[in-house]
Structure 1
Amino acid sequence: MKKKIALLLCITMTAMGIIGCGNSEESLATKGGSASKQSVVTIWHDGDDSIMQVIENGVNEALESDGILVKFEKKSGLTDQMKLYGNDEANGPDMYLYAHDSLGTFVEMGILAPLTDVIEESDYSDMLPMTIQAGNYKNTQYLLPVYFETLLFLYNKDLWEGEVPSTTEELFSYMESHTDTASGQYALVNQHSTAYNVAPFINGFGGYIINEQSVPGLNDEKTLEAIEYNKKFAALEADGDYNTVNTLFNEGKAAAIIGGPWLIAGIKEAKINYGIKSLSDFTLPNQNALSPYSGVQAIGIMKYAVENKKEALGKVLKEIANPQIGIELALNSGCAPANQISYDYTEVAKDEMIVAMRRTADTAKPMPNVPEMSVMWGPIESLLAAVNKSGQDTKEAASEYQKQAETAIQDMK
């Protein structure tokens, strides 16, 4: 009965030219002066406004004739905002674009709809496998990947002598012969006690910080092997502090640095003649490539939005999945597209950094998206600091911090 009354009121007010009907539509005047209804899709984000503008412009241009308008809204502390409004249809978003590692938390809250509730698997079949994996939780695909980032090997062409090696053992030999800690000159610097920066070794050795079953692996045999191997590099990489290693590279006191695309602006400002190599191009002693973590920016759908806006949501997602959006993101914002077809475009294929990240996607692993990962950063980084800075026995320290991690996870329940 209430629905019938609401419908009658809506029809009456529309006829009077006063207001549109429902949360998903707005009354707009067409060129001819008559009223048309436009479905508005709201997407929350916590990223770079210029990147979102590229997506918004592309999608809105493509869907103008369909009467669909996408609006990106920036929300600081997006995770907290989603916890507050994830079940609030009146005040929450229709979709959100955010880092994939928050996925498990949102799914366990019961606020997300599977991607296949709105589009078909074929609609995102061109995405890089690693980016698809990032949006999968407990064998269900929840996220549409848009773009991603990984760590890279960045080097100063004016300081690096000869070719950059293709194995980590050759790299270490180069470091031994070109590092003079007494004078503050380094061959390579890295945040050697930061988990994200050591992950290429841990993953490459077959270890793990936490697995898909939310079991921490700090004392796993392969994790121990990786941490011990990283230790000898750490001894030649300054103190491993973020500001220290960046300053050393930008001041020409380090020939190379392991870092992400977020460092490029500072490197350019310092007028460094830099080159880029994918970490996937370095082979470990076990013949595996370095395997860094990747952060994937992806779109998820709110459950309540599917009921009223399914068709509009589907069209928006299909446009965002279009390789043209990836091309625009690459050319305008320096983003590495999730859609692998985007890399076929000539201008994208010329971008050294984007091509290196595309290459790295072949061996990179998405950061774990289980909720328990949130309490793992403390234990793993305490373990790395204990080994690299305090000289504690690796196995002994791993046992200690494995227990700390297990306790932290138990406390979440």
Structure 2
Amino acid sequence: MRIRSAGLLAGTAALALATACAGGGQETDQPQGGMVIWADPERTAVLEPFAEEFGEANGIKVDVREVAVDTIQADFVTAHEGGSGPDVLVGAHDWIGNLVQNGAIDPVQLPQEKVDALNDVAVEATTYDGRLYGVPYAMENLALIRNTALAPEAPETVEDLVETGSRLKDEGEVQEILGLQVSQTGDPYHMQPFYTSAGGYLFGTGDNGAPDPSDLGVGKPASVEAFERIAEFGEEGEGAFKRSIDGDNVGSLFTQGKTAYFVTGPWSLAAVQEAGVEYGISPVPGFEGGEEPVPFVGVQAFFVASGSKNKVLAEEFVTNYVTDPELATALYEADPRPPALNEVAEKVGEEDADVGAFTDAGANGRPMPAIPEMDAVWDPFGKAQAAVIGGADPKEAVESAAEAIREEIG
């Protein structure tokens, strides 16, 4: 599931954790004359044979170290500060602003022909302040998965979805109109398509096309109007958006047939298929008369650590091995998400209709902002959304969130 940028750990406890992850108390994570790659559990096993091949070709030992997905970013920054970090990091593109701010990664010198071979949105996502900081290998975005036995047709609007979902609920076929994780503290990632369809935005766009932290959309009239529209479908309205539905129960609601609709990403496909649900995939619908929804696009990438003691080899691995179709295919097979390498994406799309459907669902998506200021948005904005869905005044909730965000950004 999509993981938001983690807050940085601090102090000696964090350094101890980073060192433990890096190799059981070693002073450095880099074996002399070798290279170290940090990856999450899903990627580690896939990378090992390619790392071994790279090591043999270059006469070095390459270790792939497994680090927990929910701590890897913080551990990396802490290890970097202590001089014990890896040479290569595998992670999410929205970490880039924080990693650059901490001087933990270097720009990647990728030849233009290799850049052209990658998905444009993936390249945009890994570009920060005009420079490419990572080589992308996979993409993800939200879509609407529906139970085709209950809802044969893809809804064109939120109103269409709610009409069908409400009828099914009234007939006792389902328990919930929609499977959308909201939770008691909100979930801006999953609400983004609806927020943007209702006219809201988080940050404006600067002249360079990047998010502009000086233009905060939260708190502006458009965001208030967006929250008012969202409130219409909340607990005191149509009842489609509910705080009782969260990341812990939303998947089972769908796989157990308790809702016909599920807003989620490709990470949920395995569970849906295992449950034997007949399903279809389509874009998350927008509100009738509203804007086209703009879901977040997340990108997974390889980064070169600025503190690498083997930087030439690290750059060689990231620029040449990561852009190799064989590795891109292996990473896809381990975790089926749309590949960033166009050649592999086209091949996979021909063989797997689900990948093509998710790619189509994200066609209007934009990269999740990688600027450090985005960290200030998640908590207050999510809580404001949850409050409005629960019946709070939209204007008061949005303006309060905006004040908290501005105070944090400074």
Please state which band the TM-score falls in when normalised by the shorter chain. Answer: 0.7 to 0.9
Please say if 1:256 is aligned against 2:258: no
For residue 295 of structure 2, what is the aligned residue in structure 1? Answer: 292
Stretch moving more, 221-230 or 192-201: 221-230
For residue 357 of structure 1, what is the aligned residue in structure 2? Answer: 358
Please say if 1:141 is aligned against 2:132: yes
Rounded Cα–Cα distance in structure 1 between residues aligned with 2:170 and 2:131:
51
- Tell me, yes or no, if the aligned pair for 2:267 and 2:337 is still in contact at 8 Å: no
For residue 77 of structure 2, what is the aligned residue in structure 1? Answer: 83
- Tell me, yes or no, if the aligned pair for 2:142 and 2:263 is still in contact at 8 Å: yes
For residue 119 of structure 2, what is the aligned residue in structure 1? Answer: 128
Rounded Cα–Cα distance in structure 1 between residues aligned with 2:314 and 2:251:
45
For residue 155 of structure 2, what is the aligned residue in structure 1? Answer: 165
The superposition leaves residues 187-214 of structure 1 with CA deviations (integer Å, 9 ceiling, x where unpaired) of: 4221244211111122345532345232
Please say if 1:327 is aligned against 2:325: no
What's the TM-score once normalised by structure 1's chain length? 0.78
1:268 to 258, 270, 273: 273
For residue 180 of structure 2, what is the aligned residue in structure 1? Answer: 190
SS of the residue corresponding to residue 123 of structure 2 reads: helix
Please say if 1:213 is aligned against 2:212: yes
Shift of 1:73: 1.1
263 and 356 in structure 1: CA distance in 2 versus 1, 3 angstrom threshold: same
- Tell me, yes or no, if the aligned pair for 1:59 and 1:320 is still in contact at 8 Å: no
- Tell me, yes or no, if the aligned pair for 2:198 and 2:290 is still in contact at 8 Å: no
- Tell me, yes or no, if the aligned pair for 1:209 and 1:380 is still in contact at 8 Å: no
Rounded Cα–Cα distance in structure 2 between residues aligned with 1:362 and 1:374:
25
Rounded Cα–Cα distance in structure 2 between residues aligned with 1:228 and 1:181:
29
For residue 18 of structure 2, what is the aligned residue in structure 1? Answer: none
Q: Percent identity?
A: 26
Shift of 1:114: 0.9
Unaligned runs of 5+ in 1: 1-22, 27-39
SS of the residue corresponding to residue 55 of structure 1 reads: helix
Shift of 1:63: 7.1
Please say if 1:369 is aligned against 2:363: no
The superposition leaves residues 130-182 of structure 1 with CA deviations (integer Å, 9 ceiling, x where unpaired) of: 2112212222221111112221211112222x321233343343334333399
The residue identity in structure 1 corresponding to 2:140 is E
Rounded Cα–Cα distance in structure 1 between residues aligned with 2:171 and 2:125:
39
Rounded Cα–Cα distance in structure 2 between residues aligned with 1:284 and 1:71:
49
Correspondence list, 1:228-267, <5 A: 228-234=228-234, 235-238=239-242, 239-267=244-272
Rounded Cα–Cα distance in structure 1 between residues aligned with 2:226 and 2:48:
43
Stretch moving more, 127-136 or 207-216: 207-216
Shift of 1:98: 1.0
Rounded Cα–Cα distance in structure 2 between residues aligned with 1:86 and 1:369:
20
313 and 174 in structure 1: CA distance in 2 versus 1, 3 angstrom threshold: same
Give the number of equivalent residue pairs.
Answer: 364
Stretch moving more, 352-361 or 171-180: 171-180
- Tell me, yes or no, if the aligned pair for 1:201 and 1:227 is still in contact at 8 Å: no
Larger Rg: 1
Please say if 1:54 is aligned against 2:46: yes
SS of the residue corresponding to residue 242 of structure 1 reads: coil
Root mean square deviation of aligned Cα: 2.8
For residue 24 of structure 2, what is the aligned residue in structure 1? Answer: none
What's the TM-score once normalised by structure 2's chain length? 0.79
Unaligned runs of 5+ in 2: 1-29, 205-210
The residue identity in structure 2 corresponding to 1:277 is S
Rounded Cα–Cα distance in structure 2 between residues aligned with 1:318 and 1:359:
28
